[in-house]
Amino acid sequence: MTRLEHGAILQRTVPQHRVCGLWTFQETECGPRKLDGERTSEVSTPKGSTVDNSGRSGKPIRLNAFVQNAVTHQSSGLWRHPDDRGRRYTDLEHWVELARTIDEADFDSLFIADVLGMSDVYAGSRDAALANGVQVPQGDPMMAVSAMAAATRGLGFGITASVSYEHPFSLARRFTTLDHLTKGRVGWNVVTGYLTSAAENLGLTRLPHDERYALAEEHLEVCYKLWEGSWEDDAVVDDPERGLFTDPSKVHDIDHEGTYFTVPGAFLCEPSPQRTPTLFQAGASSSGLSFAGRHAEAVFVSGPSTGVLARNIAKLREQIEAAGRDPHSVVVYAQLTPIVAETDALAEAKYRSYLDLASREAALSLFGGWTGLDLAGVPSDQPLRYAETDAGRSALAVFTSDDPDRDWTTADIAEHLAVGGRGPVAVGGPERVADEMERWIDETGADGFNLAFAVTPGTFADVAEYVVPELRRRGRAVAPDRGPTLRERLGGTGPRLPKDHVGSTYHR
């Protein structure tokens, strides 16, 4: 961990303008909410989109549900709220009900985050995380997916797994198994792992940040060889008369010997509908963006303003194009927490009830896990500056180098993260929230939202009841039937990797 000492890693002390900690879309006690320090005037428009007279892109707004198999995820302490059912995370019916709700609302996928460790940086202890239910206790992100898939018609499932703590041979088999059982509706959120506690409990030493991405490159190479190259398309014959199930001549060893992995043999699984699961990624460091440019088919981003977000999305699309791919072939989801009700007044009352129960200590515990920085004991009005750490860098950059026009203090960060985590929070009735969704999409170049929850499943149920019908009325909702596999649901022309994707080069 990196401990923040007064005057050491903290930014210059300057008089601070009065701010509210959350990016809400309403009048607050601080006055009218100003969301951005700037507006972006040039946002490229994907092919097939329309632009109305206001200059807004008419492309559909995609939605994901952002969850974790845990008591809480991004909104720290709200397991105490009477409307929250997060403590049911061990109940399979809880997950099936949630999946049905968002499937009926035409969400692209249920994106399941995961960490294989505890946030133990804040005050040098895991106590704050345990006491406040900060992503612990938790369960495995994969286990409920087949049941949810069986209960839904088209919903995809993005599952987080770390290349640092999973061997590619066994991980590839699990994803292929799920791809078969879900009929091609599985995605892999590729992460490198940032918690020291996760590495220690596996008997490993956490690699430096950039080396984790070097490992990730090789991990993906092994997986591509297994998924795309080991079994030919017609290897399975299934011919009872000849007594031949698989043609041995069409199953191949991958003969991989690299820096981090040695995998000499053949894959154990026959090709699944997608072969390679749809690939998600969320890193925003230079290494993460470069990795996403080569591999990702969908990317999750977050930022406190449309200006910050637009710059980061533009950098991402530049990396995608540099890799020889269509820069708009990758779906970009921006994080957002919607607090919505039938009217603006009811939504604002709901939001205040969340703020009353949110834990600022828990928020700083979560921040410490993300960034490796311990803010315990740092004065609440002390500004923060960017520091290189070997934990996740994108979370820290959101509050420092990515937003240079604002000095974020410890109190600001705790307040901002308390409800909704790193992304903005939209508060209002259906029209107000839909207005803000349109604005963020049209000003940033994002394709949709990765919706975090304040309470579960209530946040998602409210979006399904109030916001989705409003987006449909405006012609900004996605089509209900977008293809049988997750890759096709996200706009792909078929179930397999496109020809310009590096993974397709391993296909026999």
Q: Which ranges in 153-305 belong to alpha helices (H)? A: 168-181, 196-201, 209-224, 286-295
**Dist. CA 210–CA 256, nearest whole Å:** 22
Q: How far apart are CA 367 and CA 389, in angstroms?
A: 13
What is the C-alpha separation between 52 and 61, in angstroms, rounded? 15
219 is in an annotated binding site: no
- In this structure, what token pair is assigned to residue 164? 């640092």
Helix axes 430-444, 306-322, angle to 10 degrees: 40
| 286-295 vs 306-322: helix crossing angle, rounded to 10 | 50
In sequence order, the 6+-apart residues with CB closer than 8 A to the CB of 486 are 108, 109, 156, 157, 158, 184, 185, 186, 187, 274, 277, 278
**Is 506 assigned a ligand-binding role in the annotation?**
no
Q: Which helix (H) or strand (E) holds 496?
A: none
Q: Annotate 114-140 with b (16+ C-beta within 10 A) or e (fewer).
A: bbbbbbbbbbeebebbeebbbbbebee
CB neighbours of 53 closer than 8 A, spacing ≥ 6? none
CB 412 within 8 A of CB 19: yes
Q: How many residues does the chain have?
A: 508
H helices, E strands: number in the chain: 16, 17
Pairing of strands 186-191, 156-162: parallel
Q: Which two tokens stand for residue 242?
A: 């000849």
Is 50 within any annotated ligand binding site?
Answer: no
| Residue 114 marked as a ligand binder | yes
CB 11 within 8 A of CB 383: yes
Feature table: binding site: 114, 160, 209, 213, 285
Feature table: binding site for FMN: 114, 160, 209, 213, 285
